[in-house]
Amino acid sequence: MPEYDFDRRVAFVTGAGRGQGRSHAVAYAEHGADVVVTDVCGDVETSPYPLATPADLETTARRVEVAGGRALAIEMDVRAECEVEAAVEAALDEFGRIDVLANNAGIWNVTDLVAMDEQRWDDVVDTALRGAWLCAKHVGRHFVDRGTGGRIVSTASTAGLVGARGSGHYTAAKHGLVGLTKALALELAEYGVTANAVAPTGVDTPMIDGILESQGESALTTISDASGSMNVIDEQLVDLRDVTEAVLWLSSDAARSVTGVTLPVDAGMTAK
């Protein structure tokens, strides 16, 4: 992995209890950053699989510290503005600054749109899209007030670039996140802030494992349609470290001229 320099910088990572969020948080620390790790640390009623626990978040924090960074662990629901605002204030009290926002929180389930109830729609869309906006709003205010730039990198999905059966709410949220990224890039450019997103295909994480365990064959068909069977490179799921590499680059000075972009990490899926 290239030697990015995040020395004396602070990254704020949502959905950091495990999976991609944990991978990103630890990688930031490996390259010199201090890291605020946040997660809801509790189950969402409509999620068919268990979400990260307080113990998971503490494990992430310990791994950040082992990697050389200082860690601040905060239990936070990205759907609740009061919790997001309080977490950003706590991060600033602890570290004095935030330099990178990694919008990673998200949940998923497999449900056809015509069979979907309102709560299932709201939980997925509010976590992936409303949550990303709220975090960008409050961290973005800090970027504007400080006036020395910043980076926003959000986790979209190939479902934000193409359609996907069985997960219309997730597809709508991730398409919205791509649009939010473009709008943030335009609005914050004058303050030296870049806003980008990554769009992974299926990634080998606890979320995928949980979906497969809880929803079985229907989920397997959806994941196959949306990832492995459509990938140009012969792999079913991509390694989460490949996604982290893209996130690090977009967060770094090496990508200072890149903004408003959604970068697929998809083994060629969207090339078809």
Domain of 163 in residue numbering reads as 10-201+240-264
Helix or strand (DSSP H, E) at 71: strand 71-75
Average pLDDT over residues 187-207: 86
Backbone angles phi, psi at 150, to 5 degrees: 170, 170
Residues 119, 161 contacting (CB under 8 angstroms): no
Q: Residues 122-177: pLDDT tens digits?
A: 999 999 999 999 999 999 999 999 999 999 999 999 999 998 888 899 999 999 99
The verdict on residue 136 lying in a domain is yes
Catalytic residues, which ones?
170
What's the confidence (pLDDT) of residue 97?
98
Report yes or no on 185 lying in a domain: yes
Best CA proximity match to 251, nearest among 19, 30, 18: 30
Whether 235 is covered by a domain: the verdict is no
Residue 217 maps to a domain? no
Please indicate, yes or no, if residue 256 is contained in any of the structural domains: yes
C-alpha to C-alpha distance for 51 and 33, rounded to whole angstroms: 26
For residue 35, being part of any structural domain is answered with: yes
- Does the pLDDT of residue 222 top 70, yes or no? no
Total domain count, the chain: 1
The rounded distance, in Å, linking the Cα atoms of 225 and 204 is 16
In a domain, residue 206? The reply is no
How many angstroms separate the CA atoms of 123 and 101, rounded? 22
Any domain includes 42: yes
CA-nearest of 103, 156, 165, 151 to 264 is 156
CATH of the domain at 117: 3.40.50.720
Give the separation between CA 44 and CA 60, rounded to whole angstroms.
20
Sign of the CA dihedral with 82 first, then 179, 173, and 17 last: negative
